[in-house]
Structure 1
Amino acid sequence: MKGGRSLNLLITGGAGFIGLNFVHYLLKSASHQITVMDSLTYASHPDEIQELTSNPKFRFIKGNIANKNDLNAVMDQQYEAIIHFAAESHVDNSIQNADDFIQTNIVGTYELLQQLKTGAAKKMIHVSTDEVYGTLTPAQDPFTELSPLSPNNPYSATKASSDLLVRAYYETFKLPLMTTRCSNNFGPFQNKEKFIPTIIYSALQNKKIPIYGDGQQIRDWLFVEDHCKAISLILEKGTSGEVYNIGGGNERKNIDLVKRILEIMGKPESLIEYIEDRKGHDRRYAIDSTKLQNKLNWEQTSTFDQSLVKTVEWHMNKFGASI
């Protein structure tokens, strides 16, 4: 987006994994004024946010999107766009207790839509997930934007609910809304509870790496920088009312990915430990990004293995200093 006009943007969840990467992406590639709203949960990066506050193009407001008063405080100006990343996203946590997921993912999205109705922003991008589509068999074609929503765990159910709210507000009120659904992200700043950081962190300490079930589950992996590029294109060129799938086209079995990361790190496969499978564990995700590629000319910037090596090195540097 270099050379484009400067926009005033509100980014919810901008202290989390994907949101923070997007903030860094924009600060490097554009001249936008950026306001981040984040409640600074356990998965956030307050130190990174503190460093960014010295940038005159950036401001941070701590707040919860499900809280009307917090939202009113951040809506002290009109935004060109809201990019809505804020979400509770760890499936295992949602299985244990879905309260926070319902509040943030459903109620929080509703409150943002109510703000959009008052003219708080000229458009909103709602960032969702491929998990709303449910699961695929090995023989089925990847999910498209027309695939039915069929979530199989509390996390994905709350995201599907928020997707339907966004659709309803577009259809009923003709609000300038777009939805994106991405495949599994990986890259810098991801919380160590997630799959790839868990592998790296455990291997660094020579601890057992827990693998659910038989390890044959398949995920489509998307490097977070490519996701940021896609969101930026949708912000610039996307059409209201549309859904855009953002997939990596990098399907890997969980066990194969673990072995590749251990190979990169020079660690033995004997660290792998199979454990009881997760309840409602989806077998395969795969996303068809043809629409995004054809309509907005999106393409990935590096190969999966190049991005994986970069990710492993980043996490090893971060975790290695704290072990």
Structure 2
Amino acid sequence: MKILVTGGAGFIGSAVVRHIIENTQDSVINVDKLTYAGNLESLASVDANTRYTFEKVDICDRIELDRVFATHKPDAIMHLAAESHVDRSITGPSDFIQTNIVGTYTLLEAARHYWIQMDSAAKSRFRFHHISTDEVYGDLLHSDEVLPDVTLPLFTESTPYAPSSPYSASKASSDHLVRAWLRTYGFPTIVTNCSNNYGPYHFPEKLIPLVILNALEGKPLPIYGKGDQIRDWLYVEDHARALYKVVTEGQIGETYNIGGHNEKQNLEVVQTICTILDALVPKASSYAEQITYVTDRPGHDRRYAIDASKMSRELNWQPQETFETGLRKTVEWYLANQEWCQHVQDGTYQRERLGI
């Protein structure tokens, strides 16, 4: 297959590109605008491969998208390009509306017009795989008190949408567009919704890389509110395997939830990072002494948790990493790749608080 990956220089996108090039015989066309979080250094290991091609293109640019489709003639699309940081969406929602909604619409229309002109065999094989988030489902836990004998709910593929932030609302909108293009035009789409990703090459505005880098520099480790917000953590390479399974084996019109089976409170995540650093880079006192509690994020969802049983049952996928093994690999990667961390920030972001 020849797979067009949008956002392939980003965190999850680069993991997908590396997985495809290193583990399959498929080719990849990486379409990325290279915004602040996109970094081609994340693809150094595949850059010279003849099955990999990069196109610096904004998904909102229809003319350029038409050129890319005409030039490369992909067999499938994996759409990951998105603005994705909740705090940034609070500070400046317009970029999220433009990229996540207008960009998805523009890509859908360019892809649909390309698909219409295919011969019947190629048309039947074509897939548009839209990669989304569990945040579109909203908040699973509103109360501060949870009874010990109460079984907490999980997000399933049929959970109603109830987004809380400009980011999640923009992703929910893009999901709806993708499904509407299937129903209205018969365009062959698949949607996946994933839990919180972590792992190598993650831009340091997100919790885990931010905490690792701040800890090493002796800076405060900010905890929003009480730190009791719960997330299901998914190692990014496990996610990349899952996404490839979906685009190659998933059924048109289906939604697949992808999770790591690792529910953790934010405070526990930070404390675990500190424990790992205490062992790998010991200093006079524990890194946990740098933990600082700060004002919570506006509209902060308390709990997300994915039921990924459909992925297991229908596509035979399971995460390979536990939270403990994945987090240790992540910390070790950041310790060994300080140069990448410096380059990706490049003076545009100094890990300051956003979204206040």
The TM-score by the shorter chain falls in which range? over 0.9
* TM-score with structure 1 setting the length: 0.95
Tell me the distance in 1 between the aligned counterparts of 2:303 and 2:135: 10
Q: Which position in structure 1 is the counterpart of 2:6? A: 12
Tell me the distance in 1 between the aligned counterparts of 2:341 and 2:334: 11
- SS of the aligned residue for 2:232 comes to strand
Q: Which position in structure 1 is the counterpart of 2:201? A: 189
Map 1:74-113; keep pairs closer than 5 Å. 74-75=68-69, 76-113=71-108
Tell me the distance in 1 between the aligned counterparts of 2:341 and 2:11: 19
Q: Which position in structure 1 is the counterpart of 2:131? A: 127
Tell me the distance in 2 between the aligned counterparts of 1:298 and 1:127: 17
- SS of the aligned residue for 1:27 comes to helix
Q: Is 1:59 matched with 2:46?
A: no
**Count of residue correspondences:** 317
Shift of 1:253: 0.4
Q: CA RMSD for the aligned pairs?
A: 1.5
Tell me the distance in 2 between the aligned counterparts of 1:280 and 1:321: 33
Q: Is 1:255 matched with 2:267?
A: yes
Q: Which position in structure 1 is the counterpart of 2:170? A: 158
The letter for the 1-side match of 2:305 is: A
Alignment equivalent of 2:62, drawn from 54, 62, 68: 68
Tell me the distance in 1 between the aligned counterparts of 2:15 and 2:155: 25
* TM-score with structure 2 setting the length: 0.86
The letter for the 1-side match of 2:52 is: F
Tell me the distance in 2 between the aligned counterparts of 1:165 and 1:115: 14
- SS of the aligned residue for 2:179 comes to helix
Map 1:203-218; keep pairs closer than 5 Å. 203-218=215-230
The letter for the 2-side match of 1:313 is: E
Shift of 1:282: 0.4
Moved over 2 A (4+): 46-53, 319-323
* Contact 2:21/2:46, CA 8 A, preserved across alignment: no
* Contact 2:5/2:77, CA 8 A, preserved across alignment: yes
* Contact 2:234/2:259, CA 8 A, preserved across alignment: yes
Alignment equivalent of 1:294, drawn from 288, 313, 316: 313
- SS of the aligned residue for 1:37 comes to strand
Tell me the distance in 2 between the aligned counterparts of 1:18 and 1:117: 24
Map 1:139-154; keep pairs closer than 5 Å. 140-154=152-166
Tell me the distance in 2 between the aligned counterparts of 1:174 and 1:116: 13
Tell me the distance in 2 between the aligned counterparts of 1:48 and 1:184: 19
Q: Is 1:25 matched with 2:29?
A: no
Shift of 1:33: 1.3
- SS of the aligned residue for 2:114 comes to coil
Q: Which position in structure 2 is the counterpart of 1:3? A: none
Q: How has the CA–CA distance of structure 1 residues 51 and 289 changed in structure 2, closer, same or farther, with 3 Å as cutoff? A: closer
Tell me the distance in 2 between the aligned counterparts of 1:307 and 1:235: 24
- SS of the aligned residue for 1:52 comes to coil
User: Unaligned stretches of 5+ in structure 2?
Assistant: 116-122, 279-285, 343-356
Shift of 1:224: 0.5
The letter for the 2-side match of 1:79 is: P
Q: Which position in structure 1 is the counterpart of 2:347? A: none
Give me the identity figure in percent.
46
The letter for the 2-side match of 1:13 is: G
Q: How has the CA–CA distance of structure 1 residues 67 and 50 changed in structure 2, closer, same or farther, with 3 Å as cutoff? A: farther
Structure whose alpha-carbon radius of gyration is higher: 2
* Contact 2:62/2:107, CA 8 A, preserved across alignment: no
Q: How has the CA–CA distance of structure 1 residues 321 and 289 changed in structure 2, closer, same or farther, with 3 Å as cutoff? A: closer
The letter for the 1-side match of 2:331 is: V
Q: Is 1:245 matched with 2:251?
A: no
The letter for the 2-side match of 1:278 is: R
Q: Which position in structure 2 is the counterpart of 1:37? A: 31
User: Unaligned stretches of 5+ in structure 1?
Assistant: 1-6
Q: Is 1:180 matched with 2:192?
A: yes
* Contact 1:215/1:253, CA 8 A, preserved across alignment: yes
The letter for the 2-side match of 1:73 is: R
